[in-house]
Structure 1
Amino acid sequence: MAHTVRIWDLPTRLFHWSLAASVIGLVVTAKMGGNAMVWHFRLGYAVMALLLFRIVWGLVGGRWSRFSAFFYSPARLLRYLRGHGHADDSVGHSPLGALSVFALLALLGAQVGTGLLSDDEIAFAGPLTRFVSGEVVGQATGYHKDVGQYLLLALVALHVVAILYYVFARRQKLVAPMVGGDKQLPAPSPASRDDTLSRLGAAVVLGLSSGVAWWVSGLGAF
């Protein structure tokens, strides 16, 4: 008998799809250049706000959205890779999926951080460039436009390939739960909190995160 369990709360789902859309927009605007860079910066601040939100929500969000729910030990990851995983490994993020999530968050954080310190020496400069030396700006710009960009694209591509593998080869439904929130499980499992109060709390967290991103965006104007 299958058990329907709320795994992904609404704030987590909105974060996931908003981040995906923003990253696509960042790639497109970066390749277009020119006036599109105005939107590249705006989307960069949006991603910054989303990342700040996810960090906080990873501490106080729904049961399966918290970092503690998918912070696995190396031994547990090894057992999973050997095909001897725990029953909970398939509820939220699997040990392998958790690695992908943390890597994506780290690379996106690095990309946003270096973007704030980048200068194209033509028309656009990050708001934090005035606080550091020209050498730091040069290094940040180089990473942001070269190494960081390709590392992020490679990891995103790997993430998509992994999802396709699990969906088509292993017949696991990964996309539908991230849309509707619920997952069909073979055994009962604790559900994530996803009520009106938690959603209002998430809205407050997102508002504060957006305020921080807005404040950072204005530092270059002083």
Structure 2
Amino acid sequence: MNADEPVSPPGQPGRRRVLVWDAPTRLFHWLMVVLVAAAYTTLKLNLIDWHVRAGEALLALLLFRLLWGCFGSDTARFRNFVASPAAAVRHLSHLFRREPDDQVGHNAAGGWMVLLLLVLLLLETLSGLYVYNEVADEGPLSEWVPAWIASAISTLHGVVWDVLLAAVALHVLVIALYAVVKRHNLLRPMLTGYKALPSNIAAPRQRPAVLALLPLAIGAAVVVLLAAYL
């Protein structure tokens, strides 16, 4: 256990170092950070070819995450961290309360933030496949979709991008707030995978990291097909 990890008061359960985030989930998280930054930079520099590549890589990773959220490790599975809206509200009501960090994975409010970010990124990348497709004028979408819908897709791509940036900013702000107000370090477990938890809390089940290669390959194959035929 690291020297700066919390020590349990007398009479409280001891803490042990537990692997809470598997390698595929952590790699997904930080690759998304890099790729969103790359998409932003390439757009500002008008490097559209590289912007498209960043968007396609994002979409492949998002499809992987959706599959890993169904078949991956415990803390990666949607069913284990998507709580009811009421639970999220209750959690936020304790936002300024100092208390031990005994959460194994995403907390009730954090789970909804994850879903929001995933939905926004999916909308952005899928609409981007249409907007930035060089052959869109001859592709099936242009043949089947009325002009007003095509225009709406382009508008959606711009609007969702702005909403996504706002959601990312909120996400970073809340992480900083947890660090300052609650003394919860949410970044370190996402870097190392490990967290100090009470000994009476069961460690989450982990899936072998090599199994993540299959959903990643499926995500990449779907993106290649979409890019070729949209």
* Fold shared by both chains (TM-score > 0.5): yes
What residue number does 1:202 align with? 212
What residue number does 1:213 align with? 223
What residue number does 1:50 align with? 61
**d(CA) in 2 for partners of 1:128, 1:111:** 20
Specify the SS of the correspondent of 1:188.
coil
**d(CA) in 2 for partners of 1:27, 1:38:** 13
**CA offsets per residue over residues 67-123 of structure 1, 9 Å max, x none?**
0111111232232223399x9972211111111101000111111121122259xx6
Q: TM-score, normalised by structure 1?
A: 0.86
**d(CA) in 1 for partners of 2:42, 2:195:** 35
| Residue 177 of structure 1 pairs with residue 209 of structure 2 | no
Task: Give the deviation of 1:60 after TM superposition.
Answer: 0.8
Q: Which deviates further from its counterpart, 168-177 or 47-56? A: 168-177
**CA offsets per residue over residues 126-160 of structure 1, 9 Å max, x none?**
97643523222111111212x11110000000001
Instruction: Output the amino acid matched with 1:215.
Output: L
**d(CA) in 2 for partners of 1:61, 1:166:** 27
**d(CA) in 2 for partners of 1:162, 1:128:** 42
The question of whether the paired residues in 1 share the 8 Å contact of 2:17 and 2:195 is answered with: yes
What residue number does 1:156 align with? 168
What residue number does 2:113 align with? 100
**CA offsets per residue over residues 166-220 of structure 1, 9 Å max, x none?**
123221121111111111113433334446xx21210111011111111111114
Residue 14 of structure 1: which of 27, 39, 62 is its match? 27
The question of whether the paired residues in 2 share the 8 Å contact of 1:5 and 1:190 is answered with: no
Gaps of 5+ in 1: none
Give the total of aligned pairs: 212
Note the aligned Cα RMSD (angstroms): 2.4
**d(CA) in 2 for partners of 1:116, 1:150:** 18
Specify the SS of the correspondent of 1:93.
coil
**Higher-Rg member (1/2):** 2
**d(CA) in 1 for partners of 2:35, 2:221:** 18
**d(CA) in 1 for partners of 2:178, 2:112:** 16
What residue number does 1:136 align with? 149
Q: Which deviates further from its counterpart, 67-76 or 129-138? A: 129-138
**d(CA) in 2 for partners of 1:119, 1:21:** 20
Instruction: Output the amino acid matched with 1:182.
Output: Y
Q: TM-score, normalised by structure 2?
A: 0.84
Q: Which deviates further from its counterpart, 164-173 or 45-54? A: 164-173
Gaps of 5+ in 2: 1-13
Task: Give the deviation of 1:125 after TM superposition.
Answer: 5.0
